[in-house]
Structure 1
Amino acid sequence: MKKPIALVLAMLLLGATAQAAEYQIDTKGAHAFVQFRIKHLGYSWLYGRFDDFNGSFFYDDKKPEASSVNVNIDVTSLNSNHAERDKHLRGADFLNTAKFPTATFKSTSFEPLENGKARLNGELTLHGITKPITIQVTNIGGGKDPWGGYRQGFSGTTEFELKDFGIDYNLGPASQTVEMILDIEGIRI
């Protein structure tokens, strides 16, 4: 009689820890995006993205405050759907990708809020400068996929001043703040 109880307890304990896991960001399946937008002269929005990046995150839905994220972005993969503009944005006036080809984000804390919302705090290194940023996060959901894996998805937004990262090309006062839109789906490792 003790064996079935021990087996049930073991299964419950395994089930409780099964939700705490590390996830690889699914960039190969095109289920993750690092996008940006900034006002162009204050008259319209310029949208772009970084096509090459990788990373992972740890998430425990029972203890979300223990979550963490690490992301590496190949800044040379900037794509605003216009080759000449991309060349300018990669150049010395803006990102200077010849000198600073990589940007990184490493989380320092995850603060759960209500209704699947959270604040993800961390250190962004861009253009050779590291500064703290906060990303407003929404948990999109998680569960089994059709291939026998388990996935978890989040969406986030943040904004920062270009000058905070040493980018001081003047496109006017309405074009000083960049907004980042981050959508990631991770596959449990």
Structure 2
Amino acid sequence: MTPTRPSHAAPPRCAAPAGTRLARQALLLATALAVAPAWADSARYALDPVHTRVQFAVSHAGFSQAIGTVSGSTGSLEFDPDDWNGARLEVSVPLLRLDLGDPDWNRAALARNLLDGGRWPDARFVSTRVEPLAPDRFIVHGQLTLHGVTREVPLAVTFNALRRHPLPPFRRTAGFSATAAISRREFGIDAWPTVIGDRVELRIEAEATRARGDDDGDDGAGAPSTAPAEDAPRAPAAPTEPQEPSPP
């Protein structure tokens, strides 16, 4: 008789106990939650152009700091107040609404040899990362595009408040204050160096309201209002064709 050869086939696998399967599923779920992006629970807000303003100060021939403002900024903000690491910000600043308090100054600043408002009517800031310093303070690092040039600029931000606004339409509102400083030469704005300083100090005051479709129900229905009230003052029309006068 021919001896029977031993079989080398793998033994049949036994099904894992139900308890083991449940443990594995729980482990996978915990891992997924641990690696979930920081902005998973964040909410979207729209900048309020009426209550958002950029102030800038620059030396006027060493005699004083010329101060101007730009109103009407728009953009979006997404953040979780319990975890700022995943916050994201995009802002557009309409330079044609620049106001230095004098029509001649405004035209000079928007002229081709300075901001060139006809060619570059907006400045844009897009955040790249947030560096938390305290529950209400952090550095927002981002790319500022001005005069057709993009540079990294850090904003020192203070988180002022997040609560339901006391006035209609009673939307949830976030408020921030921020400061920064830039070199105008780094953005290719280098005309009149003996009259206009290179360092430009920025101060930003901003409010943002809960965006459409992302309300948690405690602020009332409807989209956030970004239009000024009927009795609110409106900004004067910006010049459409900046000239090249000498700075006053």
Greater relative CO (CA pairs within 8 A, separation 6+): 1
Q: Quick one: which of 92, 95, 101 aligns to 2:115?
A: 95
**1:163 and 2:163 matched:** no
Q: TM-score, normalised by structure 1?
A: 0.85
Q: Which aligned runs of 4 or more in structure 1 are off by greater than 3 angstroms?
A: none
Q: What secondary structure, in the 3-state scheme, does the structure 1 residue paired with 2:185 have?
A: helix
Q: Which has the higher strand share?
A: 1
Q: Quick one: which of 41, 50, 70 aligns to 1:50?
A: 70
Aligned length: 171
Tell me which amino acid in the other structure corresponds to 2:149: I
In 2: Cα distance, 1:59 partner to 1:66 partner: 7
Per-residue Cα deviation, 1:23-67 (whole angstroms, up to 9, x for no partner): 11111xx22111111111111111111123211111211111111
Q: Quick one: which of 184, 194, 209 aligns to 1:172?
A: 194
**Unaligned regions of 5+ residues in structure 1, if any?**
1-16
Q: TM-score, normalised by structure 2?
A: 0.65
Q: Which segment drifts farther, 158-167 or 169-178?
A: 169-178
Quote how far apart the aligned CAs of 1:20 are.
Answer: 2.5
In 2: Cα distance, 1:64 partner to 1:52 partner: 25
Once the two structures are superposed, the pairs formed by residues 139-158 of structure 1 within 5 Å of their partners are 139-146=159-166, 147-158=169-180
Quote how far apart the aligned CAs of 1:182 are.
Answer: 0.7
Contact preservation (8 Å) 2:53, 2:72: no
**1:38 and 2:58 matched:** yes
Per-residue Cα deviation, 1:128-183 (whole angstroms, up to 9, x for no partner): 00111000000111111233321111110000111000011134388110011111
The aligned counterpart of 1:126 is: 146
Tell me which amino acid in the other structure corresponds to 1:178: V
In 1: Cα distance, 2:58 partner to 2:188 partner: 16
Which of 1 and 2 has greater Rg?
Answer: 2
When the two chains are superposed, the root-mean-square deviation of aligned CA atoms in Å is 1.9
Contact preservation (8 Å) 1:20, 1:62: no
Tell me which amino acid in the other structure corresponds to 1:168: D
Q: Quick one: which of 84, 95, 113 aligns to 2:104?
A: 84
Q: Percent identity, please.
A: 28
Q: Which segment drifts farther, 179-188 or 168-177?
A: 168-177
In 2: Cα distance, 1:115 partner to 1:107 partner: 19
Q: Which has the higher helix share?
A: 1
In 1: Cα distance, 2:136 partner to 2:196 partner: 32
